[in-house]
């Protein structure tokens, strides 16, 4: 007999060898139905794991992360089984659960069409209805290779071959379908009641663009139909916030076939927003001791040869000229670093000059691969609040902290702080060609940065191979409306480029030393930040950022004079105002102003003209009643000056 401690601390006695599933059954039929996986002494486990010692057991349902993972992983098996039943020649690759769903990669000659996905869904429904039990068994590595070779599953063979010699390999079978698999699975196909296949697309085998492109089917699954419907509705809602659609509808930006890919045109409203952001950033940086530079958009190839960009980043650059033919070859700048270093090199530096903080609103050009461009999030020309900070080793931590505090201040002001995560981006020692510097230099830079991050208690995850070619980064990541993650802000520690460029300072003892350099953005690139703001606020921007803050809506044309007076008063205090003086009914004007997400609509008719007031309607709270013009201005200025984002309430 063994003692099992259940959730809540109750201890129950069971026969040794009992499984988590049987424990769940002993507690109740409802739990047995809902249970997806378990943890044993905190370790994730399958429901079939025999328990032979005293332990703490937690039974996980779909409401738990690992339960969800197990549920959806089982859904991916059902997908694979259905595909195999309908198209036996298709080869299986891998099929994990992911955020909000699952996928399975197949190698197939025919592309999956929407009609085929429907057919596959139908077959999956049958499999669920058949209530097929999933059974776990193991094989030796050799047996597994033989098994998959006989079944003509080359991708599975490759996966098994990578496992260490002598490893017991676990399999799960469900009726006519067997898959190699390590994680937990449901007991049967029956609970996977509500699922949907969302798309079919290409994906490289092993995520390697040099290898074969397979066909990936994405899907999602829930225990209940209502949950699935809710999720699909949420996906639809999210699409409405898509900056690429909304930003065009709101006339913030557009694109032109003649200008080209990844080169958006900022329309007056979008350009105004970027101007507001830029002024805010530059003013804040000035307050924090950053000195503005303005450096060229291009340079001779010589500069990039020193920095290492020529060898490590040339594919990403727009090169003007041909080294074979031309005396001078230029390239548009993909980064600002080497340019600002030339400012540092302007004269000899002393430790008394440090820390030296340079910032620049810097336009960069990167020749992204044609399939990478996406709205304002991924473009070929972008403008970034870029800074480089030269300091002594002793100053490094405080300065790093200062950069982080600046970034956090920006995020909080914009209302994005809650939406970001941190990634400590490190190099990949197995991919040396991507990087400059020695193992020792990387160990040192990453060691220092790790220490700083730990000391500042930044909750980061590590990203191997995500470092810049010259050093590790703290990337502040954010997800767009489609769930795709991008870097918004980055702070990097670099101890290699100073040496390459001969950047030095004279220390107290009279010796020359290379400064540490921090590369940082404070708000990221303006285009991308704007994109995320559009999605965050669904176009209903905080008052201080709204391209049009107030729309004046006179009821009839005899009120136009008064409206123009009010407009002049608002503009006199710097507010952005539009007057709707068309011959339209008030309901129509309000409708249009609301669709443009204008924060305040000021209705004025006979009453207001007579009393010298405004009937204030807010985008958020509707009709607020009458206010004097002076009162409205005073209230609005408070809201603008505090940069209220409306998220605290």
Partner RNA sequence: GCUGAUGUGGCUCAAUGGCAGAGCAGCUCACUCGUAAUGAGCAGGUUGUCGGUUCGAUUCCGAUCAUCAGCUCCA
Question: Minimum Å distance from CB 202 to RNA?
Answer: 3
Regarding 466 and contact with RNA (CB under 7 A), the answer is yes
Q: Which is nearer to RNA, 130 or 237 (CB)?
A: 237
Which of 368, 419, 444, 581 binds RNA (CB under 7 A)? It is 368
Q: Could you tell me if residue 131 is left (phi over 0), alpha (psi between -120 and 50 degrees) or otherwise beta?
A: left
Which of 337, 468, 491, 530 binds RNA (CB under 7 A)? It is 468
Question: Minimum Å distance from CB 352 to RNA?
Answer: 32
Regarding 558 and contact with RNA (CB under 7 A), the answer is yes
Instruction: Give the list of residues 6+ apart from residue 328 with CB closer than 8 angstroms, or none.
Output: 300, 321
Stretch that binds RNA, among 120-128, 435-443, 504-512, 553-561 (CB under 7 A): 553-561
Contact, 372 vs 380, CB < 8 A? no
Q: Which is nearer to RNA, 34 or 238 (CB)?
A: 238
Query: Which two tokens mark 227?
Result: 């949950």
Which of 42, 583, 648, 649 binds RNA (CB under 7 A)? It is 583
Pairing assessment for the beta strands 91-92 and 101-107 based on DSSP bridges: antiparallel
Q: How far apart are CA 438 and CA 582, in angstroms?
A: 69
Regarding 594 and contact with RNA (CB under 7 A), the answer is yes
Q: Which is nearer to RNA, 24 or 449 (CB)?
A: 449
3-state helix, strand, coil in the chain (%, to 5): 40, 30, 30
For 53, which DSSP code? Answer: S
Q: Which is nearer to RNA, 482 or 512 (CB)?
A: 482
CB contact burial 221-244 (16+ within 10 A = b; e otherwise): bbbeeeebeebeeebeeeeebbbb
Regarding 485 and contact with RNA (CB under 7 A), the answer is yes
Question: Minimum Å distance from CB 514 to RNA?
Answer: 22
Binding to RNA in span 379-398, by CB under 7 A = 379-380, 382, 384
Stretch that binds RNA, among 158-166, 187-195, 271-279, 555-563 (CB under 7 A): 555-563
- Supply the Cα-derived Rg of the chain in whole angstroms: 30
Question: Minimum Å distance from CB 575 to RNA?
Answer: 19
Q: Which is nearer to RNA, 68 or 378 (CB)?
A: 378
Pairing assessment for the beta strands 356-365 and 291-292 based on DSSP bridges: parallel
Contact, 512 vs 504, CB < 8 A? yes
Binding to RNA in span 424-443, by CB under 7 A = 434
Stretch that binds RNA, among 122-130, 295-303, 321-329, 488-496 (CB under 7 A): 488-496
Regarding 375 and contact with RNA (CB under 7 A), the answer is yes
Regarding 262 and contact with RNA (CB under 7 A), the answer is yes
Omega of the bond leading into 355 within 30 degrees of 0 (cis):
yes
Q: Which is nearer to RNA, 121 or 486 (CB)?
A: 486
Regarding 404 and contact with RNA (CB under 7 A), the answer is no
Which of 174, 307, 395, 490 binds RNA (CB under 7 A)? It is 490
Stretch that binds RNA, among 122-130, 223-231, 504-512, 605-613 (CB under 7 A): 605-613
Stretch that binds RNA, among 253-261, 395-403, 412-420, 494-502 (CB under 7 A): 253-261
Regarding 607 and contact with RNA (CB under 7 A), the answer is yes
Regarding 84 and contact with RNA (CB under 7 A), the answer is no
Q: How far apart are CA 46 and CA 143, in angstroms?
A: 23
Binding to RNA in span 164-223, by CB under 7 A = 199, 201-204, 207-209, 213, 215-216
Q: Phi and psi of 434, rounded to 5°?
A: -75, -15
Which of 491, 604, 629, 633 binds RNA (CB under 7 A)? It is 604
Q: How far apart are CA 404 and CA 44, in angstroms?
A: 35
Q: How far apart are CA 88 and CA 82, in angstroms?
A: 10
Question: Minimum Å distance from CB 56 to RNA?
Answer: 36
3-state secondary structure of 167: coil
Q: Which is nearer to RNA, 93 or 127 (CB)?
A: 93
Q: How far apart are CA 225 and CA 236, in angstroms?
A: 17
Regarding 561 and contact with RNA (CB under 7 A), the answer is no
- List, as one string, the DSSP characters of 441-456: HHHHHHHHHHHHHHHT
Stretch that binds RNA, among 34-42, 153-161, 224-232, 260-268 (CB under 7 A): 260-268
Contact, 376 vs 253, CB < 8 A? yes
Question: Minimum Å distance from CB 205 to RNA?
Answer: 9
Given strand 11-14, what is the order of strands in its sheet? 11-14, 2-5, 55-60, 37-40, 43-45
Question: Minimum Å distance from CB 466 to RNA?
Answer: 7
Question: Minimum Å distance from CB 369 to RNA?
Answer: 3
Question: Minimum Å distance from CB 573 to RNA?
Answer: 22
Regarding 7 and contact with RNA (CB under 7 A), the answer is no
Neighbours of 418 (CB within 10 A): 9
Q: Phi and psi of 55, rounded to 5°?
A: -160, 165
Return the closest-CA partner of residue 188 out of 122, 243, 129, 239: 129
Which of 357, 514, 617, 627 binds RNA (CB under 7 A)? It is 617
Which of 81, 255, 359, 495 binds RNA (CB under 7 A)? It is 255
Binding to RNA in span 308-367, by CB under 7 A = 366
Regarding 372 and contact with RNA (CB under 7 A), the answer is yes
**How many residues of this chain interact with RNA, rule: CB under 7 A?**
78
Contact, 604 vs 615, CB < 8 A? yes
Binding to RNA in span 512-531, by CB under 7 A = 521, 524-525, 527-528
CA atoms lying within 13 Å on the CB side of residue 260: 7
Q: Identify the helix (H) or strand (E) that includes residue 461.
A: strand 460-464
Residue with tokens 């195999």: 84
In Å, how far are 400, 401, 445, 490 from 473, measured between CA atoms?
Answer: 11, 14, 10, 7
In Å, how far are 256, 491, 493, 518, 554 from 425, measured between CA atoms?
Answer: 35, 10, 11, 14, 55
Q: How far apart are CA 176 and CA 156, in angstroms?
A: 17
Q: Which is nearer to RNA, 126 or 241 (CB)?
A: 241
Stretch that binds RNA, among 9-17, 116-124, 294-302, 584-592 (CB under 7 A): 584-592
Q: Which is nearer to RNA, 167 or 557 (CB)?
A: 557
Binding to RNA in span 109-148, by CB under 7 A = 111
């Amino acid at each position: 007999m063994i003692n099992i401690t259940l959730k809540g601390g109750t201890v129950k006695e069971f026969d040794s060898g009992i499984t988590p599933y049987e424990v769940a059954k002993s507690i109740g039929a409802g739990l047995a139905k809902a249970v997806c996986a378990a943890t044993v002494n905190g370790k994730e486990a399958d429901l079939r794991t025999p328990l032979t010692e005293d332990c703490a057991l937690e039974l996980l349902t779909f409401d738990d992360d690992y339960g969800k993972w197990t549920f959806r992983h089982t859904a991916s098996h059902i997908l694979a089984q259905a595909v195999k039943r309908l198209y036996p020649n298709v080869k299986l690759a891998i099929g994990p659960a992911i955020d909000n769903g699952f996928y399975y990669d197949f190698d197939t000659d025919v592309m999956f069409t929407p009609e085929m996905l429907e057919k596959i869904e139908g077959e999956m429904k049958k499999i669920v209805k058949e209530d097929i039990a999933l059974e776990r068994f193991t094989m030796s590595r050799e047996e597994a290779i033989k098994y998959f070779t006989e079944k003509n599953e080359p991708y599975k063979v490759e996966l098994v071959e990578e496992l260490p010699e002598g490893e017991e390999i676990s399999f799960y079978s469900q009726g006519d379908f067997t898959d190699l698999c390590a994680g937990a699975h449901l007991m049967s196909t029956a609970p996977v009641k509500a699922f949907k296949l969302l798309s079919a697309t290409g994906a490289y085998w092993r995520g390697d663009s040099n290898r074969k492109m397979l066909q990936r089917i994405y899907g999602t699954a829930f225990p209940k139909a209502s949950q699935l419907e809710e999720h699909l509705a949420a996906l639809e809602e999210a699409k409405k916030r898509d900056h690429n659609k909304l930003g065009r509808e709101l006339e913030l930006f557009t694109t032109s076939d003649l200008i080209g890919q990844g080169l958006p045109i900022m329309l007056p409203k979008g350009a105004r927003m970027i101007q507001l952001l830029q002024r805010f950033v530059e003013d804040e940086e000035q307050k924090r001791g950053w000195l503005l530079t303005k450096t060229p958009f291009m340079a001779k190839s010589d500069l990039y040869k020193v920095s290492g960009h020529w060898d490590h980043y040339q594919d990403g650059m727009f090169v003007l000229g041909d080294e074979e033919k031309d005396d001078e070859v230029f390239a548009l700048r993909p980064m600002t670093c080497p340019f600002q270093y030339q400012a540092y090199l302007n004269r000899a530096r002393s430790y008394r000059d440090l820390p030296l903080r340079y910032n620049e609103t810097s336009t960069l050009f990167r020749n992204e691969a044609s399939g990478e461009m996406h709205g304002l999030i991924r473009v070929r020309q972008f403008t970034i609040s870029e800074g480089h900070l030269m300091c002594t080793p002793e100053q490094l931590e405080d300065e790093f902290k200062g950069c982080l505090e600046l970034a956090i201040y920006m995020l909080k002001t914009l209302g994005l702080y809650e939406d970001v995560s941190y990634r400590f981006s490190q190099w990949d020692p197995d991919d040396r060609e991507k990087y400059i510097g020695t193992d020792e230099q990387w160990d040192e830079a990453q060691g220092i940065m790790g220490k700083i991050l730990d000391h500042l208690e930044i909750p980061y995850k590590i990203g191997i191979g995500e470092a810049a070619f010259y050093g590790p980064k703290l990337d502040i990541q954010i997800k767009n409306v489609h769930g795709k993650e991008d870097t918004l802000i980055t702070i990097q520690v670099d101890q290699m480029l100073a040496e390459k460029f001969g950047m030095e300072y004279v220390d107290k003892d009279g010796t020359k030393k290379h400064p540490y350099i921090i590369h940082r953005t404070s708000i990221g690139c303006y285009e991308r930040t704007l994109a995320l703001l559009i999605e965050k606020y669904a176009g209903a921007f905080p008052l201080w950022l709204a391209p049009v803050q107030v729309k004046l809506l006179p009821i009839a044309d005899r009120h136009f004079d008064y409206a123009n007076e009010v407009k002049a008063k608002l503009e006199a205090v710097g507010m952005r105002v539009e007057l709707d003086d068309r011959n339209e009914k008030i309901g129509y004007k309000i409708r249009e102003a609301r669709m443009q997400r204008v924060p305040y609509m000021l209705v004025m008719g006979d009453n207001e003209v007579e009393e010298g007031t405004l009937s204030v309607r807010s985008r958020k709270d509707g009709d607020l009643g009458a206010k004097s013009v002076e009162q409205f201005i005073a209230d609005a200025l408070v809201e603008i000056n505090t940069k209220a984002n409306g998220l605290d309430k």
